[in-house]
Structure 1
């Protein structure tokens, strides 16, 4: 007889060990404020429910197969690899240098033309002063 009572009590306790629906309903507005806390009137307010209890309720809800909408949005993973910047930009620099080298004859011609025009202007100004 005592064995049957113990089994029925254990079964009842096991089924009702974590009443997550009631806990979730109780703390629903608090969980919606954020994971760690929230700003109110210029002051930081931590949640009234501890992180340990929040995590326990979250675990119970997820184990029951329900959705947990209170987690913050995850950031995108970094796609850039670590390393030295000079290694990453070396190819771009080489490509830019190749483009400039193709333009070099025209750039030199423009430079010579400007220098010649400047020289001619100086000579004209010198003749005008005489």
Structure 2
């Protein structure tokens, strides 16, 4: 039984759509642009994903499926108000797929980061508060 499970486990993890994580989606909530975001994934079988040309106040989704690949890093550069601000997200391996780029002015200098957020509103009924 153990051999059978080991034989079919890779098939289940990498080909069954019910086991696939959400595609990468990024909301650029800033007035700046990002030429490219690079998504690095954990396993050697998982390729690198790219999102290109993130315009101001836009929602961009990956066209490729990521399967059962865990995300480890996102890197890119936000171009805003004549400044180039590095964007980085690090994880030991996460299934998160939705992110938002945020910025603010601190002491007359722009600061920005990319953070996880449920931007598509994928809430289950259990997450929705009910008022009696």
Range class of TM-score, shorter chain: under 0.3
Which entry has the higher C-alpha Rg, 1 or 2?
1
Q: Per chain length, whose mean CA-contact separation is higher, i.e. which structure has more relative contact order (CA < 8 Å, sep 6+)? A: 2
Q: TM-score, normalised by structure 1?
A: 0.24
Q: TM-score, normalised by structure 2?
A: 0.24
